[in-house]
Amino acid sequence: MPNHDLPNPVQVRDMLGRPLRDLRISLTDHCNFRCVYCMPKAMFGTRYRFVDHAGLLTFPEIERLVRLFAGLGVGKLRLTGGEPLLRPRIEDLIASLAAIPGIEDIAVTTNGSLLTAAKARALKGAGLARITISLDSLRGETYEAMNDVGFPVAKVLAAIGHAAEAGLQVKLNMVVRRGLNDDDILPMAEHFRHTPHVLRFIEYMDVGNMNGWQPQDVVPSAEIIARIGERWPLEPLEPSRYGEVASRYVYADGAGEIGFVSSVSQPFCRTCTRARLSPEGTLYTCLFGTSGKDLRALMRDGAGDDEIIAALGAAWGSREDRYSEIRSLLRARGGGQKVEMFHIGG
């Protein structure tokens, strides 16, 4: 079995020596939520132009690209969006991707709203091992205000149960925005202690151009760790692999693991091995990218595999991205128009 725990010396590397290992695929930019930190309702109403059906990459196109990416060292996939479960028969795509040599791990990130018991079983049956469900609060009022479509939290809690019953390994993502849901940090930690589900606190990021991000809205992980550690002492764990996004901790009393994604306060660009594919097939090499390579045009114009592999290698080989490390500098300069997070996935 190939060892993907260490950077493979023969695989493609970027300008800063980082290997290409992960691909995040945004299956659609549509979403049934309007989370205030991602797709604020005022900006994403009826007049916003989402990618139409014909513009989306088809499942065979995605499968072809993943096969080519796998040849360049990609072993991990994350299917995201927008809301990925809005793509009908996503389980068929998962089954075909799981069969590609070199693909060792597939995960899905979802808001959980469409995750019925039957869907969870179908995803598991297709070969999915892991699912990340986003949950920002246990309080109905706060949760509904954050998704901004009044979606009830009880349904997401039920979805977490469905995923676990189907045998999926479950992680929870909680984006913390000061003044909005930082009161929920301890209740969320308490709720998921003594469960196999790993809760991850995500620092609120300045993704896209429309969420009105201000540095003071970020609750740094150090503060969250201190708040939780005061109540339930924590012990840090070593990263389980090169390029891991979350810092991992365990509760000293044996109540399980939690994680922290500190992209604002402690950027991890130095080991960033992630490429991203937008719903219409544009390749970005950073979550904060301003431009990308149009792979759909290449495929639909009849390019052969060699030509596409050359384009992928060139895009990664010329990559210098490290937005989070130089955020203040770029923001001060005004920067370019960034791609939106729901467009290239989280």
Q: What are the two backbone dihedrals, phi and then psi, of residue 119, each rounded to the nearest 5 degrees?
A: -65, -40
Q: Supply the minimum distance, in Å, between the C-beta of residue 268 and ligand SF4.
A: 5
User: Which of ligand SF4, ligand SAM, none does 28 bind, CB closer than 5 to 8 A by kind?
Assistant: none
Q: Supply the minimum distance, in Å, between the C-beta of residue 177 and ligand SF4.
A: 12
What is the C-alpha separation between 240 and 314, in angstroms, rounded?
Answer: 30
3-state SS, residue 154: helix
User: Which of ligand SF4, ligand SAM, none does 207 bind, CB closer than 5 to 8 A by kind?
Assistant: ligand SAM
What per-residue string of b and e applies to 247-284 under the rule 16 or more CB within 10 Å gives b? bbbebeeeebbbbbbbbbeeebbebbbbbbbbbbbbbb
For every residue of 41-69, DSSP letters joined together read: TTTSSTTS-PPPGGGSPPHHHHHHHHHHH
User: Which of ligand SF4, ligand SAM, none does 204 bind, CB closer than 5 to 8 A by kind?
Assistant: ligand SAM
Q: Supply the minimum distance, in Å, between the C-beta of residue 241 and ligand SF4.
A: 15
* Contact positions vs ligand SAM (CB under 6 A): 31, 37-38, 80-81, 83, 109-111, 134, 173, 175, 202, 204-205, 207, 211, 341-342, 345-346
Q: Supply the minimum distance, in Å, between the C-beta of residue 327 and ligand SAM.
A: 13
Q: Supply the minimum distance, in Å, between the C-beta of residue 149 and ligand SF4.
A: 9
Q: How far apart, in Å, do the first and last CA atoms of the chain sit?
A: 29
Q: Output DSSP code: residue 241.
A: S
Phi/psi class of residue 133: alpha, beta or left (left: φ > 0; alpha: ψ in -120 to 50)? beta
List all residues 6 or more positions away from 89 whose beta carbon is below 8 Å from its beta carbon.
Answer: 59
Smaller CB separation from ligand SAM, 263 or 285: 263
Tell me the torsion sign for CA atoms 114, 118, 121, 126: negative
* Contact positions vs ligand SF4 (CB under 6 A): 31, 33-35, 38-39, 81-83, 111, 134, 263, 267-269, 272, 274, 286-288, 321-324, 342
CB atoms within 10 A of CB 207: 21
Distance of CA 171 to the CA centre of its chain: 12
Smaller CB separation from ligand SAM, 36 or 66: 36
User: Which of ligand SF4, ligand SAM, none does 173 bind, CB closer than 5 to 8 A by kind?
Assistant: ligand SAM
Q: Supply the minimum distance, in Å, between the C-beta of residue 313 and ligand SF4.
A: 18
CB atoms within 10 A of CB 102: 15
Q: Supply the minimum distance, in Å, between the C-beta of residue 161 and ligand SAM.
A: 17
User: Which of ligand SAM, ligand SF4, none does 273 bind, CB closer than 5 to 8 A by kind?
Assistant: none
Smaller CB separation from ligand SAM, 156 or 308: 156
User: Which of ligand SF4, ligand SAM, none does 321 bind, CB closer than 5 to 8 A by kind?
Assistant: ligand SF4
